[in-house]
Amino acid sequence: MPLSGRTLPVSSELRWLLDHWQSDGRWPVPEAPRPTSAIVLIRDSADGLELFITRQLDARGVEDRNRWAFPTSSLRPGDVRKLPLAGWNSARCARALSIENKSRALHHFSAAARITFAATGILLAEDVDREIVAAPQTDWRTTRSRLFSNEVTWSQVLRDRDLRLRPDLCKPWLRWINTPTQLHRFDTTYFIATVPFGQDVDFLSPNETSAGWKRPGQVLAEVGGDPDRIGAAARIIVESLTEVPTVGAAMAQIRNVHPLRPEIIDDGDWKVVIHTGKDPHSKGSLRDRAVAVGETDNDQNPGFLSFSGDDDEETTDEENDDS
């Protein structure tokens, strides 16, 4: 069904907030959405396409608590500084995301690859022989933990092992800017990627989050219509993969990655209504602040939302031209 104009129920936590603000007669001033990236790993199986999905810890303070979700991280300066790059340059990344800001586009791709490696152990990179990495090294779990705790930058991990990021192994799938009425706002670009030959998922979580491979139909059957069990964006992504037969078919799709900007309506019951909209970061309509690239975040916040940045100033150094 068309996404624009579609309505979905709100979660019980958001309903509580909306009822509180409505009774108080004061609504929060929306904060600038924080740019984030998320990864949806997919693979072929005998029963059809499967996706790798996480189930968040059911505890207070956890983003998306007790919900099905996908590994997600805010952007960090260390994702792009002196980034060893192969395949696409930042200009090609910008075209893939349909945005004008080339450094921001590359930032999204790099952050998606970082959280893929940190959470699942999958490396979307090539080695010195220009071959996609196939066999993980034994010490990589320690490195992944250090990425979560922000002891090392993603660019440094790649450089230390003579690896180069392959942005073309990530396919932009959906862009979602959550509602202005939520306490934390995110502008999330969801990517899909497949597991390179020779690599296997080794799930690592900074909390007690669980994860596994499931067919899209299985996920939808388990969550039903309950908004407390899956967020709106995750639901839309799972639905979009339900009729996709293979990894090849998914990677060949032409996707509209213009942002979806849901809003809250009250027609006797709170609902989320989905609208398409323009990029809030284009042409100065939303200025980039230090917080927008995660300089004050802490990477160990549950739910894979990385609330931490690096200790240097925000810059972008690429080894490839944008020409």
Element (H, E) at 174: strand 171-177
pLDDT tens digits for range 65-123 = 568 999 999 999 999 999 999 999 999 999 999 999 999 999 999 999 999 999 999 99
Q: What is the mean pLDDT of residues 2-22?
A: 78
Per-residue pLDDT for 294 more than 60? no
Per-residue pLDDT for 316 more than 70? no
Q: How wide is the angle at C-alpha 232 spanned by C-alphas 231 and 235, nearest 5°?
A: 85
Task: Show me where the domains of the chain are located.
Answer: 7-23+32-304
CA distances from 78 to 38, 75, 151, 157, 233 (A): 17, 9, 11, 10, 27
Q: What is the mean pLDDT of residues 210-218?
A: 94
Given the candidates 3.90.79.10, 3.40.50.10470, 3.40.50.620, 3.30.450.20, the CATH classification of the domain at 7-23+32-304 is 3.90.79.10
Give the per-residue pLDDT at 116.
96
Q: How do beta strands 186-194 and 34-43 pair?
A: parallel
What DSSP state is assigned to residue 259? P
Q: How wide is the angle at C-alpha 291 spanned by C-alphas 290 and 294, nearest 5°?
A: 105
- CA–CA dist 211, 182 (Å, integer): 26
In this structure, are residues 53 and 203 in contact, taking their beta carbons and an 8 Å threshold? no
Range name among 112-126, 189-203, 298-312 with the lowest pLDDT average:
298-312
Per-residue pLDDT for 36 more than 70? yes
Q: To the nearest whole percent, how much of the chain has pLDDT over 70?
A: 80
- When computed from its CA atoms, the radius of gyration of the chain, rounded to whole angstroms, is 19
Range name among 202-216, 227-241, 253-267, 301-315 with the lowest pLDDT average:
301-315
For all residues of the chain together, what is the average pLDDT? 81
Give the per-residue pLDDT at 182.
79
What DSSP state is assigned to residue 227? T
Q: What is the mean pLDDT of residues 283-288?
A: 36
Range name among 44-58, 73-87, 294-308 with the lowest pLDDT average:
294-308
Q: To the nearest whole percent, how much of the chain has pLDDT over 90?
A: 53
Tokens of 220: 């939808």
Question: In sequence order, what DSSP letters do the residues of 85-124 get, joined into one string?
Answer: B-S--HHHHHHHHT-S-HHHHHHHHHHHHHHHHHHH----
Per-residue pLDDT for 287 more than 50? no
Give the per-residue pLDDT at 270.
86
Q: How confident is the model at residue 19 (pLDDT cuts 50, 70, 90)?
A: confident
